[in-house]
């Protein structure tokens, strides 16, 4: 009896640490299952990240140790120094690759989030000639495999004179279907009353879109920012960009990865580097989702 | 007389259409930048591919008309395609629903946490999707020599004496692909659910507590799920397309081609014909068939989802 009491109290104490104060209708057993599931699957999921972080700081002999160890014992910066030396030898300066990737990723992400949201608002909150067809086409387009559209895609790019420019990656990214579909599904939830009353008060569609709709779907476009950033950050531009000085960072780093077993340490450093930037963007946008929405939600 | 009335209605219709267009002009303008690019870079290539599926096309010579030939070959002569279809459906039926529920379940669990811990745990669960090349770990795990984690552990415990060639054995390959695919399933739909849960009106929960909702399960079924229908629809579409298009995981884990085609799917079949054999007409036919399968599954699931919370 007493034991059970201590147990219940320690669970409650731990729950208070991790759960917001105003949670309603929560039982101790439910909380216990919650904590257990989070810990168990969390460890499982975090594994690759822990692996990549540790490997990047392992000295050469530890990387090849058998049986392999997850955690680094004598951390070193050797892998990063090797990476910098390798990049210094390449005839295109590394800063050029970094610029290419940043340009493509930032312009592509900002453009996609804005254009997709602009297109999503009419489709989510209005019916007009063609709206139903457009809604359907967006969903259908998610279902067609990209391998077979690569060749027609290339023909279009070269007809438009876009091969060997940043725009070969950026323009298609502006119009990815996933973003529009995501934004549309969040905008559908906004009460039509909000929009109608703003319209009666004399607001234009542009004002409604920018001042009412976008702030209400902030969690959606912050999520889309993560997804788009991640995709473009990893884009190699393989089939469209042949000019070495225009190639993105992930292509250049891919060359290093292809350099054989002697470069395993450098590859580990590369993996960490390629992971860190999207993770930072992820953390920033996830915490802003939570800050803005903590006390509101969409009210009917 | 009758003629006149008809012309009048036509004119009237035209005028009405113009008025309607004028009224909706800002909406069309808002959509136009996206849709111009979308038609040029997505719709046009897709339509071209569907047309190419009725042709022989080796990428060196111009395509020649083939009628239904590619489709006939696909369904009646290609035994490997049938293996691919069987594998794809098996993978999809297991990983699709489980992945979907897992994405929602973990988003819901994470949503119970304090803001800072929640952001951290979201990252932890999303880790397999953001830390590119996460397959290396699974290869180490199932490596066929005694140094593979699984073999080492099993030998240590005395369960087996000889290492097992996990990734070369056709009876283990599908199981391993399913495990890895499930492990990667907290991706786009997971993030959509996390964001969706943040958009649910908090006051509904307070009102629910007053109205007699007594535990978190009732709260989930009567308040949370009905408020999240759009996200449930969105993730269902994403999950269907992802689970019927399993290829990356299969190729990375089981190799390409895999032993006895145990990891062969519709999409790896398509990649094989499109990029290794340069039969683009045939590959396009495969893509078109897959597209129709996805459409069908989507209609089915949408019908089911309309009943949530009722």
Residue A280 sits at the chain B interface (C-beta within 8 Å): no
Q: Which fold has domain A86-293?
A: MetI-like fold (1.10.3720)
- For residue A260, count CB atoms less than 10 angstroms from its CB and return exposed for 0-12, middle for 13-18, buried for 19 or more: exposed
Averaged confidence pLDDT in chain A: 85
Q: What pLDDT is stored for residue B259 in this prediction?
A: 85
Q: Which of A76-90, A148-162, B66-80, B134-148 has the lowest mean pLDDT?
A: B134-148
Question: Cα angle at A16 between A15 and A19, to 5 degrees?
Answer: 75
Confidence of residue A222 (pLDDT cuts 50, 70, 90): very high
**Which SS3 state, helix, strand or coil, does residue A57 take?**
coil
Q: What pLDDT is stored for residue B310 in this prediction?
A: 59
CA distance A132 to chain B (A): 14
Residue A148 sits at the chain B interface (C-beta within 8 Å): yes
- Say if residue B52's pLDDT is above 50: yes
> Mind giving me the DSSP string for chain B?
-HHHHHHHHHHHHHHHHHHHHHHHHHHHHHHHHHHHHHIIIIIHHHHHHHHHTTEE--SSSPPEE-TTHHHHHHHHT-HHHHHHHHHHHHHHHHHHHHHHHHHHHHHHHHHTS-HHHHHHHHHHHHHHHHSS-THHHHHHHT-SSTTSHHHHHHHHTTS-SS---GGG-TTTHHHHHHHHHHHT-SSHHHHHHHHHHHTS-HHHHHHHHHTT--SHHHHIIIIIHHHTHHHHHHHHHHHHHHHHT--HHHHHHH-SSPGGGTT--HHHHHHIIIIIS--HHHHHHHHHHHHHHHHHHHHHHHHHHTTTT-
To probe the interface with A, which of B104, B138, B195, B229 has the most A CB atoms within 10 Å? B195
Give the mean model confidence (pLDDT) for residues B70-82. 93
What residue segments make up the domains of chain A, in order of their start? Answer: 1-38, 86-293
Could you tell me how far CA A57 lies from the centroid of its own chain? 25
- Say if residue A22's pLDDT is above 90: no
Distance CA A90, CA A247 (A): 13
CA distance A95 to chain B (A): 22
Q: What pLDDT is stored for residue A21 in this prediction?
A: 61
Closest to A278 (Cβ–Cβ): which among B130, B237, B270? B130
Closest to B27 (Cβ–Cβ): which among A126, A172, A278? A126
Residues 166-195 of B with CB under 8 A from A: 183, 186, 188, 191-192, 194-195
Decide if A290 and B198 are in contact by the 8 Å CB cutoff: yes
Q: What pLDDT is stored for residue A295 in this prediction?
A: 47
Taking contacts as CB-CB distances below 8 angstroms, the residues of chain B near A123 are: 31
Contact B84, B269 (CB under 8 A): yes
- Say if residue A94's pLDDT is above 60: yes
Give the mean model confidence (pLDDT) for residues A39-51. 85
Q: Please, what are the domains in chain B?
A: 1-52 (no CATH), 73-305 (1.10.3720.10)
Q: What pLDDT is stored for residue A45 in this prediction?
A: 85
Give the mean model confidence (pLDDT) for residues A97-119. 95
Residue B158 sits at the chain A interface (C-beta within 8 Å): no
Averaged confidence pLDDT in chain B: 87
To probe the interface with A, which of B26, B33, B36, B46 has the most A CB atoms within 10 Å? B46
Taking contacts as CB-CB distances below 8 angstroms, the residues of chain A near B38 are: 141, 175, 177, 180
β-pairing, B55-56 vs B64-65, is antiparallel
Residue A37 sits at the chain B interface (C-beta within 8 Å): yes
Residue B93 sits at the chain A interface (C-beta within 8 Å): no
**Residue-wise pLDDT tens digits, B259-282:** 888 999 999 999 999 888 889 999
**Residue-wise pLDDT tens digits, A238-283:** 788 888 888 888 888 777 776 666 677 788 888 888 889 999 999 9
Taking contacts as CB-CB distances below 8 angstroms, the residues of chain B near A230 are: 130
Taking contacts as CB-CB distances below 8 angstroms, the residues of chain A near B275 are: 147
- Say if residue A296's pLDDT is above 60: no
Residue A156 sits at the chain B interface (C-beta within 8 Å): yes
Confidence of residue A59 (pLDDT cuts 50, 70, 90): confident
Q: What pLDDT is stored for residue B148 in this prediction?
A: 78
Decide if A115 and B134 are in contact by the 8 Å CB cutoff: no
> What are the distances in angstroms from CA B33 to CA A44, A114, A120, B56, B189?
43, 10, 12, 35, 26
- Say if residue A299's pLDDT is above 70: no
Taking contacts as CB-CB distances below 8 angstroms, the residues of chain B near A289 are: 194-195, 198
**Residue-wise pLDDT tens digits, A184-215:** 999 999 999 989 999 899 999 999 999 999 99
- Say if residue B2's pLDDT is above 60: no
Contact A209, A85 (CB under 8 A): no
Q: In sequence order, which residues have a C-beta less than 8 Å from that of residue A11 and are 6 or more positions away?
A: A28, A31, A32, A35
């Amino acid at each position: 009896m007493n034991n059970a009491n201590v147990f219940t109290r320690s669970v409650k104490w731990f729950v208070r640490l991790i759960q917001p104060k105003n949670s309603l209708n929560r039982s101790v057993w439910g909380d216990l299952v919650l904590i257990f599931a989070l810990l168990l699957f969390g460890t499982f999921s975090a594994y690759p990240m822990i692996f990549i972080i540790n490997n990047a700081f392992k000295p050469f002999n530890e990387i090849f140790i058998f049986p392999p160890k997850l955690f680094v014992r004598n951390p070193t910066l050797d892998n990063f120094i090797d990476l910098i030396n390798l990049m210094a030898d390449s005839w295109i300066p590394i800063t050029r690759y970094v610029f290419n990737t940043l340009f493509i990723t930032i312009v592509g992400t900002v453009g996609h989030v804005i254009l997709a949201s602009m297109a999503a608002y009419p489709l989510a909150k209005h019916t007009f000639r063609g709206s139903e067809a457009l809604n359907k086409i967006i969903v259908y387009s998610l279902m067609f495999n990209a391998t077979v559209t690569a060749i027609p895609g290339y023909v279009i790019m070269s007809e438009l004179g876009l091969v060997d420019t940043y725009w070969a990656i950026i323009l298609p990214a502006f119009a990815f279907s996933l973003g529009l579909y995501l934004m549309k599904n969040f905008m559908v939830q906004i009460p039509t009353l909000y929009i109608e009353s703003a319209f009666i008060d004399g607001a234009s569609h542009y004002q409604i879109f920018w001042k009412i709709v976008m702030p209400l779907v902030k969690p959606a476009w912050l999520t889309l920012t993560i997804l788009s950033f991640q995709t473009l950050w990893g884009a190699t531009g393989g089939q469209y960009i042949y000019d070495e000085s225009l190639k993105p960072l992930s292509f250049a780093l891919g060359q290093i990865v292809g350099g054989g077993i002697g470069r395993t340490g450098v590859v580990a450093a590369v993996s960490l580097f390629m992971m860190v930037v999207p993770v930072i963007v992820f953390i920033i946008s996830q915490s802003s989702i939570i800050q803005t929405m903590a006390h509101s939600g969409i009210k009917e | 007389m009758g003629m006149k009335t008809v012309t009048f209605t036509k004119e009237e219709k035209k005028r009405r259409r113009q008025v309607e267009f004028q009224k909706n002009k800002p909406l069309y303008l808002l959509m136009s930048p996206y849709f111009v690019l979308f038609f040029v870079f997505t719709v046009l290539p897709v339509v071209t591919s569907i047309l190419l599926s009725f042709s022989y096309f080796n990428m060196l010579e111009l395509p020649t008309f083939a009628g239904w030939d590619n489709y006939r070959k696909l369904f009646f002569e290609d035994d490997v395609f049938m293996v691919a279809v069987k594998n794809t459906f098996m993978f999809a039926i297991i990983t699709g629903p489980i992945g979907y529920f897992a994405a929602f379940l973990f988003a819901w669990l994470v949503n119970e946490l304090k803001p800072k811990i929640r952001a951290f745990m979201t990252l932890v669960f999303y880790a397999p999707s953001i830390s590119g090349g996460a397959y290396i770990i699974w290869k180490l795990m199932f490596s066929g020599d005694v140094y593979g984690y699984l073999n080492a552990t099993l030998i240590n415990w005395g369960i087996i004496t000889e290492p097992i060639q996990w990734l070369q054995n056709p009876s283990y390959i599908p199981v391993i692909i399913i495990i890895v695919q499930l492990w990667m399933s907290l991706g786009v739909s997971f993030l959509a659910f996390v964001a969706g849960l943040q958009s649910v009106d908090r006051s509904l929960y307070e009102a629910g507590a007053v109205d007699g909702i007594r535990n978190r399960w009732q709260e989930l079924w009567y308040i949370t799920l009905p408020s999240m229908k759009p996200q449930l629809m969105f993730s269902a579409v994403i999950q269907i397309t992802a689970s019927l298009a399993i290829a990356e995981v299969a190729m990375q884990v089981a190799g390409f081609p895999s032993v006895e085609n145990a990891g062969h799917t519709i999409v790896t079949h398509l990649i094989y014909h499109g990029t290794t054999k340069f039969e683009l007409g045939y590959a396009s036919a495969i893509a078109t068939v897959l597209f129709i399968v996805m459409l069908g599954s989507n209609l089915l699931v949408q019908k089911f989802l309309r009943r949530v919370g009722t």
